[in-house]
Structure 1
Amino acid sequence: MTFLEQAGKMKRDSRHGWIYISSMFAFHFHNNSIQQFHNSLHSQQMPSNAIVQYSSSSSHVINTYDVFVSFRGEDTRNNFTGFLFQALRRKGIHAFKDDQDLKKGESIAPELLQAIQASRLFIIVFSNNYASSIWCLRELAEIRNCAQTSARRIIPIFYDVDPSVVRKQSGCYDVSFAEHEYRFRENKVKMEEAKRWREALTEVANLSGWDIRNKPQYAQIEEIVQNITNILGPKISSLPKDELVGIESRVQELKDLLCCGSLNDVRVVGISGMGGIGKTSLAWTLYERICHQYDFHCFIDDVSKIYRDSSSLGLQKQLISQSLNEKNLEICNGFEGTCLVWSRLHNARALIVLDNVDQVEQLRMFTGNRDTLLRECLGEGSKIIIISRDEHILRTHGVDDVYQVQPLSWENAVQLFCRNALKVNYILSDYEKLARDVLSHAQGHPLAIEVIGSSLFGRSVSQWKSALARLKENKSKSIMDVLRISFDELDEGDKETFLDIACFYNGYEEIYVKEILSFRGFHPEYGMQVLVDKSLITNNYGRIYMHSLLMDLGRSIVREKSPKEPRKWSRLWDYQDFHNVMSHNQEIDNLEAIVVKNEEWMFGKTTMKADGLSNIRQLKLLKLENVNFSGSLNHLSNELGYLTWNKYPFKCLPPSFRPEKLVELKLRWSSIQRLWEGTKLLHNLKRLDLSYSKDLIEMPDVGEALNLERVDLEGCIKLQKINPSIGLLRRLAILNLKNCKELVSLPRSIFGLNCLEYLSISGCSKLYNNQLFDEPRNTEYLKKLYLIEAPINLRSTPSFIKEMLSWPSDLLYLRSQRDPVSCLLPSSPSHPCLRELDLSFCNLVQIPDAIGKLHCLEKLNLKGNNFTTLPNLKDLFKLYYLNLQHCKRLKYLPDLPSRTHLPSKVYMLPFPYSPSILGRLVEDDEDKAGLIIFNCPELVDRERCSSMSISWMIQIVQANHQYGSLTSTTIGPDVESIIPGSEIPQWFNNQFRSRLNLIEIKSSSVENDNDWIGVVCCVIFGRGNEMEMRYPRPYYPRPDNPIKKPPLDLRRDPTMELSDHMWLFYFSRKQFIEQRDWLGLRFSIPEMKKFRYAVYVKKYGYRWVYEQDLIL
């Protein structure tokens, strides 16, 4: 393939980017005229089955249009022809479009006649009703005349009609002509005209063109437009800016990385991102705008394909032939070519763009050593842009910087979708929910938005629903083909890693995903980084995310070999497919992983036989949630490493099951009474979760599970004792016994476990008075102890608590039972390393001053107690959470820390969580930051409380912004406070009255400001007279944003004072952008029917926060 043929080829789908594909030639140089390019292009032989020249004669015509398209509007305007016009426009091809309905009257309108005469190329779209239109036939006759008197060409396209029908005027065309000729039977002139129409139809139908019946329109249009581009040849044109949605800010960012304003800096910048995200469009847009500023400029398209077809010599010839203006240059080898590149570029100020590089060798053989190229060859101010899906290639080559092309913002995605699907700049109300579903799934991917949007144009609401339902089952091939390129480049092990993440692990913690993939034998430490480099996954704050379209790709790859037989797949994730496999009850060898979740409301409505699991011999991963089984379970695969089965229906695991390979065993809400008889080899077991198994009467012997790190038995209400083998678990870090109400004793050895960091015995009422606690214990490593809601008949305090805090024996005691329930704390705690202290609802009447000396304290929960004052807390510089709600006797609030230092890394429990269980072990306030003062009716000086709370909240936001230490994986605002107050401070410069408890933060242009970091909101709410409790919490209209409750605990104390409260919360920039829709971020007040009050919003305000706002 010559360089002209290669340069003239249209860009492949994978480089659509936004919705524009350039029609300009791949190379432009100052020393070549447009006419030279035109002559060169037309000297190339064109495909015989594409577009043919009608006549070799020529005449001079002033062309004002590139293309004139003749079509029957009612047949194709809202489908094929509409899409064709879009594709032509994206290519910068100026096509005449009859937007004014000029086909009126008996003769061709002057505007139509002029457009035909002034066009360089003609496209005739033949459809069933084309011949029934007199205006279409007259257009055709005029086009035929123009083609006969000039060197212009006609492209016939047979949309839904057989070419022979057009050629012979048979079938529906015969019917149309019969009607015309009957109408003209007494008019000889018109009868002659009808005869010319027949001749024109016959001649044009004999031309080679496209028969697109029963073929994918998208692919056919791309092929047609490419041939049109080749016929028209290169031309100087500006990009259609109105089509390049969201491009301007990206172009500027790329210019900044290239230092385009500098005349001296030589820069090499890479552009990376997932397929179809807009890499080529971005580079081409910038290239066209600045190429005239350089002595030499070149845009080489699809380096990968050229390299495969003709090795590095092809790449070097393309570059050198342009610099030398020689078409027949011979290069013997790559080294000679590299030297020629260096010599010809010597001291030249060059702009070079290399598109679609997929191997670092392509760059080395093309330009040689990067440092030598920059130091000895390129002149000052030269720029090189390298486009690759693999960031590792760019880094290996040594680029100065990499620009990662991100998905479109929500506003730009909406704008692009509207242009393609609705042809207006807004979403019609009837289509709003459906449009939101499309955009949520596309996640800002421009190619997907364009393809799906275009397919929906002109359809009714019911047709949209049908199309989207079908799209869920059968993904768009044009989109999947683009994305699959990156997958096909992966090694086999990395492909398996990709498929596992696509099917199961989107949103999971990195450490957890790596652990499972390591067990599966996929070497994730290397493989996951490969996926990151290729933009197939992202790692945000320690969590792994995959674009929904890539998840679709992965799942379609798993299904592709046997789409109708899920029992032959390697992975199962869909409930219906799993049900299908279980119903056949056949032996299965290929299936290795099952992660299935049934919708909660469907649990119990469908049942499957459990013995089907006995036939899956190679199963390594089994996670089931809300799946209802019947029958018996005779066997489980001995290859299982991860077994999660919520609501496990049987009393024990199958006797034949050998759990030697188990790493994680979770049977929450199960019917199990005991796991197994005797001792099992459990050398690999790290996590055991039997929580809420209400029939569990015996904890298994775990003496062989020496790697066990976590045991969760919360809510096992029949469990009376803990197996003493737990004292052998030297790696045990977490032991959760919350609400084990019948538990009467603990093994003495538990408190000798040096790794034990978390122990919850909250709600273990029979345990508090047990004498086993009386002996001293080693608790120096314990970081979290939950002892909540101590029983009112508690007369003594477990000695291990006394020892941990070094408090005297009267740590807690009760007054006379006739007096109000109250407790006292001693005055001299000495546990300075304590990070969290939770004494909620412990009936404390006094907090000792020494608590202010716990300098490592980060979170202090004192809600539901009876003290009136607090000690000085100003020295607790690490404190970022204080909860005082339901402290009904509290009168005075002490000074808060004047400066807040958040930890460099938020304390994480030493075991991985999946998203579904994240935070379940810990208390409700686990990932909060802020001040909670709610239902404290005796509190005085509330104005000071308000100003101090806002000031402290800003300090926390400042620390969060500076150190990035609060996790960004939670759904709502991390920083939020509730304090008494009835007026919004003036600092909130956007204030509104609430209507129907609705709060709306409207999108604003400030979101484009780089200094903007987030938004702080203030809501004033009060108690109403209704018999229902309503409380404020965010409501997100987009389906992928779940609800997050505000920090109110109304379970233990549902009372509420009459005065108003102020709810403050903060969204970081990232959180706000991710959770809004095209209108902004809206909040509502959902119902909570368990309580006897109602809360209504009176007013609200918000402030866009900039970095300068954090300077106090």
Structure 2
Amino acid sequence: MADFPSSSQVVSKQWQVFISFSGQDLRNNFISHLEGAFKQAEINYYIDNKETPSESQNVIFTRIQQSQIALPIFSSQYAESKWCLNELVEVMKQAKQGKLRVIPIFFNVTPKDVGSPYGSFGCKVYVESQHNPSSLPIWTAALKSATGNIGLLLKNYSNERLLIQEIVSSVKEVLDRLPSLHNVISREISPVTSGSSSSSEKSLFDDAMNHRIKQLAEMIDFSCDQTQIVGIVGMPGIGKTTLAKMYFDNYSDRYVFNKIISNIREMVQLRGHHYLESELLKGQELNDEAKIFSKKIFLVLDDVSQKKHIEFLLHNRRRIRKGSKIVITTRDKSSIAELFPEIYVVPPMNDTDAWQLFKDHAFKGGVSSTTGNFPKLTQKFVDYAGGNPLALVELGKELNGKDEAEWATRLENLPYKCNVNISRELRISYEELTVQQKDAFLDIACFFRSEEENYVKCLLDSECGDVVKKLAEKFFVCISGGKIEMHNLLCAFGKEIRSGERMCDHRKTTAILRDAVQQETKYVRGIFLDTCTETKGIPVDRERFTEKFNPMNLRYLKIYDSHFPENCKVYLPERLDFPFEKIRYLHWDNFDLEELPSDFNPKNLIDLRLPYNKKIERVWGAVKELPRLKWVDLSHSTKLTDLSALSKAFDLRRLNLKGCTSLEKLPEDMGNMKKLVFLNLRGCTTLSSLPEKLNLISLNTIILSGCSSFNKFELISNNLEFLHLDGTIISTLPPTIQNFKKLVLLNLKNCTMLESLPDCLDKLKALEELMLSGCSRLRTFPKIKVTMENLQILLLDGTSVEKPLQDQLEMNGLSMLRRLCLSRNDMIKSLQPCISKLYNLQWMDLRYCKNLTSLLTLPPNLQYLNAHGCISLKTVASPLALLLPTEKGPSSFIFTNCEKLEHVAKNEIICYVHNKTRISSDALNRHNKGLAFETLAATCFPGSVVPAWFDNKASGAVLERELPPYLRDNGFVGIALCAVVSFKNYKIQNNNFMVKCICELNNVEKSSSFFNFHIGDLSETDNQQQCRIKSTHVFIGFTSLFNGEMRRVPTKASIRFEVTDGTSEDAKCEVLKCGFSLVCESDNGSWHANAEANQLVCEPDNGVSDAKADAVPKDNGSGADGSSRGDELRPGESIFVRLWGRTSFFDQLRRGLRLY
């Protein structure tokens, strides 16, 4: 981690916005536009401007901590980046601590996509986590939490410009509610010195409170005749009393009778409730409560802890005159609930103010805060404090005058040892809890922080009822994204006060097991032992294990390795006594026995986890009662063969048997698990079928992926939504599949024995995704008699379907499809004409269809077509597709390695893209005024000549031209680009290959504008075949420019083309030729076409010299009839095929196969 900035550097290192995203295409388009908008709005932001991560993850985390707002921009590529997912974890951590506001942006994905672990987005996250499985729950939790924030969806806006405008507006709105950086700048100009700490600290805290006072003032209208009651609530030390007193000082003069009563809780404890009356009358002219409450009053009641405090003073609102204003501070929202007040939850201090407040107390006496490791250590202590002013002050005082080593030691002990003064303050609230609430709080603090709320409730005492809700009302926990979270201070406090009962410090636990430390353990309630730091392993003695831990108390036992669970090193004797009847949670990685001890009574067991076990063959011998068991994880237990021990787990909800390679069958009585929702059998390679007549009525998801012996699937639940049968050897699906009325996803990828699908497929009304990739024996597709209204994704790549979808398309059964993959099908010779009826189709993949010879008319809304490797393709339809006049979407058409593509076909492709561009540009021009720039269309195909209609050409990759002065009259709106690239049998190494253009336009005002555009990229979306480009190809694209600033008349253009993929293979690709032309607009806003229609087409590669190929045809200024055209263009003003479409969008489309 980089050093945290010194006080004189804090301002320059502070960011209003942190942008998190993934994808080079997104960076060079949407992100660059967003950056421009932020600059124009004078919004300070941080973004890593390198194409590869240039700084360590810890440095990026520091940047996040120094930001006020985070913008995670979710696209399909976000889930493919461990870097971004780790960023998001840190972002949500800061957000939960109140240090950061989060505005999620959903770019061609939805919150449901991002938050679901089962969809395409979730599958990508799962794939990325395989190298470190422990990261998966952390990532998914962060994603789910992020989707709980109010975000912005691209699909809700007609174009990216409107989305960018809304982002800027939302950021400004949030910044207006946050403490601005102005206060920080003021402190930088007048730095705090140790000699003036008291006054500067007051000024600092006042600055931090000003924004809160403003928020509170918005809740109370002094001009209103209605009684208003506001509760200022929050955890201890957050600043409730300070805020109330400052608010009272600011507004008390508006009422004749005003009063603040402080420390009510302490006052009542010392003197009783009746003393409140005398305190209320003290210093007032009126000596009768009735007379006081007969008038409008402004009353502040500080530190109310019980309902009867309110009842005694206010009689539950009955004695309050209308128009009065009451402010109450409390640590317990329920104590004032009957007053129905408005609630103001005091937020934590922002990171800047928190850092400064801590420093003011930690570095008194002349010690510099910028030397050595102090900046790094300071940031960690500030992070731990979580914006709590009391913690910042007390920790600062505790560390003042100590050296770095002492700081480091204290930091290491922070999770287990609370500061004395902080602990004293927290204990006040703790002692007011009931016994059940105390137990629940301590269990969560020591064992179950950040776990799912419903899960924790199940593990706690069943008689606790709404104990978690009560803890949340008292600010001991908070519920965020469905998870139970807890402040660091409370967590450390909980671990410390009952450390003998709840052992979660692995150092102390290890020492006890090794008899290195003697400690009373008979009241131990839970043990969590992380062995990741153990190199030799921990031996467990048979007798001493049960002697040390009283069987009547132990409820939670977790022995694990947080880094590599399969390497957990706790060595057990051959026989182990295990008489722990109260155990509710048992998690033991790499459990070292063949089964659990016979004396183990699981009657209270709720969650059983024994993953990565190399010995266990069965859970236990005899069938036992399991009345409370809800979760079981036996994943990667490679010798597990018998599950009969679970036959009485009638309440089981989730069962994970992933990687149990010796499991041949499931118990026949498994049908008794009526509440089972999730069943994971992935990689159970010896499992051949499920029990007959199995009816798991609640089952939502079953995963049989990679069960290479599984050959028969039967109906198991009418409520099934996600069915994964990929990699099995089933030959068909049963007709009863029509009963899966709720089925959303059917995954049959690489079912190499599958020969047919049932005719009742169209009965699956809820089906959205059907994946048949790699089903090489599948030759027919069933007739779809009724429109499948929800089916949007159909993957048929690698199948043998001869006439794909002819009957289905003629019946309009698949009319709602958006994505269609037919790649790697050697049976297809031509597409059926009826495919043009797929009006909603946006993405089509035809890669490696080696016998495809012709393309008939394509669907009108198609935005992405990939025909790479169609080595027999010769002709395309004329027109290639019908065009809709309202179409605005960007487009990309890839014909790489289509070596037999005829000259006429190439011309037809160019003409289609040209016409599509005209329609799109007209729509953008009408509706998107003010957009910075839009990219609309692109294509690539084998060839070696820059088309004749490009006005400016050159050999090589660089082109500079002086531009004609009369562009001003015709309205410069865009630029067309072309590059001829030699690949020399180039092999794509990754998914980052692109042909990029760097464009500089100098205008009449002698200023320059720079743009980066992609005019093409290539990627391989699976691992079956490495993409190899064999010859020279032509890349053509167009970008439109609508921003007012861009309409300044350019006088010179400098353009450089690059071919990059981030590997040493770059040298094998070379830009041989390039070209560009400017595009102008007539006065009435219509687009101009070139005078000669044939100038839009591509010249044949027939050995014509470069001189001839580069010649620019001249316009004679006459129409076809010889008459003069009133709207003619001067040379250089032709209309061209437009540049590469929005690459962020196309990247999502191109990677469609890899989504799964």
The TM-score bracket by the shorter chain reads: 0.5 to 0.7
1:628 and 2:566 are equivalent in the alignment: no
CA shift, 1:665, in A, is 2.0
- In structure 2, the CA distance between the partners of 1:828 and 1:767, relative to structure 1 (3 Å rule), is closer
Distance 1:552 1:492 in 2: 19
User: What is the aligned counterpart of 1:707 among 638, 651, 656?
Assistant: 651
5 Å-filtered alignment, 1:652-691, equals 652-670=595-613, 671-691=615-635
Distance 1:289 1:455 in 2: 33
Q: Number of matched residues?
A: 682
User: What is the aligned counterpart of 1:580 among 511, 520, 523?
Assistant: 511
Residue type matched to 1:255 in 2? A
Q: Tell me if the contact between 2:784 and 2:813 (Cα under 8 Å) persists in the aligned partners.
A: no
Aligned residue number for residue 253 of structure 1: 215
User: What is the aligned counterpart of 1:386 among 313, 320, 328?
Assistant: 328
CA shift, 1:758, in A, is 2.5
1:515 and 2:458 are equivalent in the alignment: yes
1:716 and 2:660 are equivalent in the alignment: yes
Aligned residue number for residue 370 of structure 1: 317
1:787 and 2:725 are equivalent in the alignment: yes
CA shift, 1:386, in A, is 0.7
User: What is the aligned counterpart of 1:413 among 338, 350, 354?
Assistant: 354
Distance 2:451 2:214 in 1: 34
User: What is the aligned counterpart of 2:469 among 525, 529, 542?
Assistant: 529
Q: Tell me if the contact between 2:682 and 2:704 (Cα under 8 Å) persists in the aligned partners.
A: yes
- In structure 2, the CA distance between the partners of 1:1026 and 1:650, relative to structure 1 (3 Å rule), is farther
Q: Tell me if the contact between 2:450 and 2:483 (Cα under 8 Å) persists in the aligned partners.
A: yes
Aligned residue number for residue 276 of structure 1: 237
Aligned residue number for residue 584 of structure 2: 641
Q: Tell me if the contact between 2:721 and 2:742 (Cα under 8 Å) persists in the aligned partners.
A: no
CA shift, 1:536, in A, is 0.9
Aligned residue number for residue 857 of structure 2: none
CA shift, 1:630, in A, is 1.7
- In structure 2, the CA distance between the partners of 1:780 and 1:824, relative to structure 1 (3 Å rule), is closer
Name the SS of the counterpart of 2:705 in structure 1: coil
CA shift, 1:1102, in A, is 12
Distance 1:672 1:1049 in 2: 42
1:400 and 2:400 are equivalent in the alignment: no
1:299 and 2:260 are equivalent in the alignment: yes
User: What is the aligned counterpart of 2:383 among 426, 433, 440?
Assistant: 440
Residue type matched to 1:584 in 2? D
Distance 1:814 1:584 in 2: 55
1:489 and 2:432 are equivalent in the alignment: yes
Aligned residue number for residue 353 of structure 1: 300
Residue type matched to 1:299 in 2? I
Q: Tell me if the contact between 1:845 and 1:865 (Cα under 8 Å) persists in the aligned partners.
A: no
Residue type matched to 2:635 in 1? S
Aligned residue number for residue 314 of structure 1: 275
User: What is the aligned counterpart of 1:539 among 468, 479, 491?
Assistant: 479
1:729 and 2:638 are equivalent in the alignment: no
Q: Tell me if the contact between 1:351 and 1:383 (Cα under 8 Å) persists in the aligned partners.
A: yes
Q: Tell me if the contact between 1:640 and 1:659 (Cα under 8 Å) persists in the aligned partners.
A: yes
Q: Tell me if the contact between 1:355 and 1:387 (Cα under 8 Å) persists in the aligned partners.
A: yes
- In structure 2, the CA distance between the partners of 1:797 and 1:628, relative to structure 1 (3 Å rule), is same
Percent identical among aligned pairs is 24
Q: Tell me if the contact between 1:796 and 1:812 (Cα under 8 Å) persists in the aligned partners.
A: no
After superposition, the C-alpha distances for 1:364-391 in whole angstroms (9 at most, x for unaligned) are 222334133134xxxx3x3111111110
5 Å-filtered alignment, 1:880-919, equals none
Distance 2:813 2:241 in 1: 53
Residue type matched to 1:403 in 2? Y
- Structure 2 unaligned residues grouped into runs of 5+: 1-197, 562-567, 843-861, 871-879, 892-927, 935-980, 994-1018, 1038-1059, 1070-1139, 1146-1156
After superposition, the C-alpha distances for 1:977-1013 in whole angstroms (9 at most, x for unaligned) are xxxxxxxx9999799xxxxxxxxxxxxxxxxxxxxxx
Q: Tell me if the contact between 2:688 and 2:710 (Cα under 8 Å) persists in the aligned partners.
A: yes
5 Å-filtered alignment, 1:710-1109, equals 710-750=654-694, 752-768=695-711, 777=715, 779-791=717-729, 795-797=731-733, 801=737, 804=740, 828-834=761-767, 839=772, 841-842=774-775, 850=784, 853-855=787-789, 862=795, 937=868, 1055=1026
User: What is the aligned counterpart of 1:344 among 292, 306, 314?
Assistant: 292
Residue type matched to 2:344 in 1? Y
RMSD: 5.5
After superposition, the C-alpha distances for 1:192-213 in whole angstroms (9 at most, x for unaligned) are xxxxxxxxxxxxxxxxxxxxxx
Distance 1:661 1:676 in 2: 16
- In structure 2, the CA distance between the partners of 1:806 and 1:443, relative to structure 1 (3 Å rule), is closer
User: What is the aligned counterpart of 2:527 among 580, 594, 610?
Assistant: 594
Residue type matched to 2:229 in 1? V
Distance 2:246 2:455 in 1: 42
Distance 1:452 1:990 in 2: 51
Aligned residue number for residue 537 of structure 2: 606
CA shift, 1:245, in A, is 4.3
Distance 1:296 1:259 in 2: 17
5 Å-filtered alignment, 1:105-254, equals 240-254=202-216
Q: Tell me if the contact between 1:661 and 1:684 (Cα under 8 Å) persists in the aligned partners.
A: yes
Distance 2:370 2:755 in 1: 60
CA shift, 1:1030, in A, is 8.6
Q: Tell me if the contact between 1:779 and 1:800 (Cα under 8 Å) persists in the aligned partners.
A: no
Residue type matched to 1:275 in 2? P
1:266 and 2:197 are equivalent in the alignment: no
Residue type matched to 1:652 in 2? E
1:500 and 2:443 are equivalent in the alignment: yes
Residue type matched to 2:507 in 1? Q
Q: Tell me if the contact between 2:738 and 2:764 (Cα under 8 Å) persists in the aligned partners.
A: no
* TM-score, normalised with respect to structure 2: 0.51
Name the SS of the counterpart of 1:274 in structure 2: coil
Q: Tell me if the contact between 1:886 and 1:934 (Cα under 8 Å) persists in the aligned partners.
A: no
- In structure 2, the CA distance between the partners of 1:935 and 1:638, relative to structure 1 (3 Å rule), is farther
CA shift, 1:461, in A, is 5.0
Residue type matched to 2:442 in 1? L
* TM-score, normalised with respect to structure 1: 0.53
Name the SS of the counterpart of 2:685 in structure 1: coil
Name the SS of the counterpart of 1:253 in structure 2: helix
- In structure 2, the CA distance between the partners of 1:295 and 1:934, relative to structure 1 (3 Å rule), is farther
Residue type matched to 1:442 in 2? A
Distance 1:650 1:536 in 2: 39
- In structure 2, the CA distance between the partners of 1:420 and 1:764, relative to structure 1 (3 Å rule), is same
Q: Tell me if the contact between 1:788 and 1:840 (Cα under 8 Å) persists in the aligned partners.
A: no
After superposition, the C-alpha distances for 1:254-294 in whole angstroms (9 at most, x for unaligned) are 1111124x253331111110000011111122111122222
Q: Tell me if the contact between 1:273 and 1:389 (Cα under 8 Å) persists in the aligned partners.
A: yes
Aligned residue number for residue 164 of structure 1: none
Q: Tell me if the contact between 1:539 and 1:545 (Cα under 8 Å) persists in the aligned partners.
A: yes
Name the SS of the counterpart of 1:688 in structure 2: strand
Residue type matched to 1:314 in 2? Y
- In structure 2, the CA distance between the partners of 1:937 and 1:407, relative to structure 1 (3 Å rule), is farther
Distance 2:818 2:1143 in 1: 24
Distance 1:361 1:878 in 2: 66
Distance 2:363 2:1141 in 1: 37
Name the SS of the counterpart of 2:229 in structure 1: strand
